[in-house]
A and B are shown apart, each in its own frame.
Chain A
Amino acid sequence: MSVQDRRRILGPAEAKPLQFAAITPVRTVENRDDGNGNKSGKESVFISTDLVTNANGSSYLEYMDGTSDQVLVMSSVFGPRPLRGSFQSKASVSIQFKEVTLEHLNTGEIKEICTFLTNVFNAVINVEKYPKSGIDIFIDLIQHSNSNPTEEANIVNILPTCINSITMALVDAGIEIIDLVSAGSKDNSVVAFIRNGHEIVGIWSDDDNVTDISKLIEECKAKYLVNKQTLVQYLK
């Protein structure tokens, strides 16, 4: 018994076991989708911010539509931190998307999502404010119920929640943004808006049959307004 146990990495002397507090939802905002009646159940969003302690800002979002679709996303914002290399008068924003549990998307699709999200947030972050700096945003897709292993993951279903989540994390971090970005989706398209839907900051459509773009935007805008209201409700 005198032999020291060398095979295990022992914790520090005063290490304590992890204890989790009972989960109490901070606020649950429920919105009934009364646009078109094709979704029977209630859509609900759970929002929580500031849970990653060493990040400047973070957020966790659960999105559930009334049926079976469920998206859990966590984002954390680091920075502004110094960039190395040549002088940059504006901040450079980088967004890394990752599936932390099951992996359904291939590398190319993940890069596509990152590029798309970076473009969306380049339009709203006040980049002039942060010279010589980089702002790093990490977004983790924790669960996406629609993506059962046999089925192809549907990017369009997860994008709006990702966008909402990054917006909340940025607000939490105190990074200057010109407006809350949120997105609405319809069939196979996602449109991200700012300024009450007067401006579009991103469009991603995998819909093969786009006949009327104006109608599509109107429909996405209606969803956007609901989503944005949810964010505002949480923040106020």
Chain B
Amino acid sequence: MGLSLTEKSFLYDSLTLDPPLRPDGRGPHQFRPLEVSTDFLPNSNGSSRVILSGGSECIVSVKTKVVDHTVEQELLVADVDIQGHRDDSPLVTSMSSLLSKLLKQTIDQKKLMLTKRYSFKLYIDVLVLASKSYPISMISFAIFSALKNTWLPKLISNDDDLEVEELPTFHDYDMVKLEADAPLLFTFAIVGDGVFVDPTFEESIVSNNGLLITWYKDKVTSPIRSVGLNNDNIKGFSQHHLEQAFKLIRQYAPHIEKALDASD
């Protein structure tokens, strides 16, 4: 689906007004209303579902398995699947690579350690059911709330197995909450002089460029990227845009983190 030239020009003009006018009446810092539900997949250790007002929807499931970490060093596997995009499309592969690299860096692997030999391995599967705009922000929110609500079996055997080949045993029904913090990713659309958080599909089409900024543990962290939200309107941006995006994120990201955390 595309927009006509007239529609694009109308949108661009209203976004570059002073003050800017977004098609849904939001302020530059406002997110679309979103609905988060967690723990709805009975077969997963943790799950969440995020629905944005535009109809974009994403589900995340966290599953786990006990592995010998002396053999298998990779304790985190993230996989992204976006409806309507091939698995080898640039969007899916680059997003999936970015997310798995990021999660490996940020999630404390010591928390997954069971004994000196065994660890939990986490499988994070992301399925984007419907998305028109750049979905990475929504995915990171879903991963965040899924990891906040992930319960792992409680270990009842000794946690020091002296590196012998003895499988850890777990309690029959008691679970322990995995207290893992996941990073939040924010997308910004740059239109004219303005910077807008959480751009819709229409806003992405007319944007001059896009920014992807990560927020983790109360600070801005890597990756920071410029991302093209479309292919034919790309232009350079200025330092001022970046500063503005940083200001917005520092001001509002803590609130968003808090809101997501409370949504059990």
Contacts and interface: CB of A to CB of B under 8 A. Distances in A.
Nearest to A121: B234
A188 B222 CA distance: 9
Nearest to A106: B97
Contacts of B45: none
A188 B225 CA distance: 12
A176 B83 CA distance: 37
Interface string B193-221: 00000000000000001010000000111
A127 B230 CA distance: 13
B226 A200 contact: yes
B224 A205 contact: yes
Prevailing SS type, chain A contact patch? mixed
A42 interface: no
A199 B97 contact: no
B226 A203 contact: yes
A201 B94 CA distance: 19
B97 A108 contact: yes
B252 interface: no
B235 interface: yes
B90 interface: yes
Interface residues of A, number: 41
A189 B194 CA distance: 24
A93 to B, nearest CB: 8
Contacts of A233: none
A1 B188 CA distance: 74
For this complex, into which size category does the number of interface residues on chain B fall?
A: 20 to 34
Given A108-B96, A122-B231, A203 B236 contact: no
A214 interface: yes
Interface stretch (B47-55, B144-152, B155-163, B237-245): B237-245
A217 to B, nearest CB: 5
B238 A200 contact: yes
A127 B232 contact: yes
Most buried by A among B98, B105, B228: B228
Contacts of A213: 239, 242-243, 246
A146 B208 CA distance: 35
A123 interface: yes
B222 A112 contact: no
Given A111-B97, A203-B225, A123 B232 contact: no
Nearest to A114: B90
B233 to A, nearest CB: 9
Contacts of A195: 236
5 contacts: A90-B232, A106-B97, A116-B225, A200-B237, A205-B224
Interface of A: 90, 92-93, 106-109, 111-112, 114-116, 118-120, 122-124, 127, 188-189, 193-195, 198-211, 213-214, 217
Given A111-B90, A114-B94, A189-B224, 4 more contacts: A108-B94, A111-B97, A213-B246, A214-B239
Interface of B: 90-91, 93-94, 96-98, 100-101, 105, 209, 211, 219-228, 231-232, 234-239, 241-243, 246
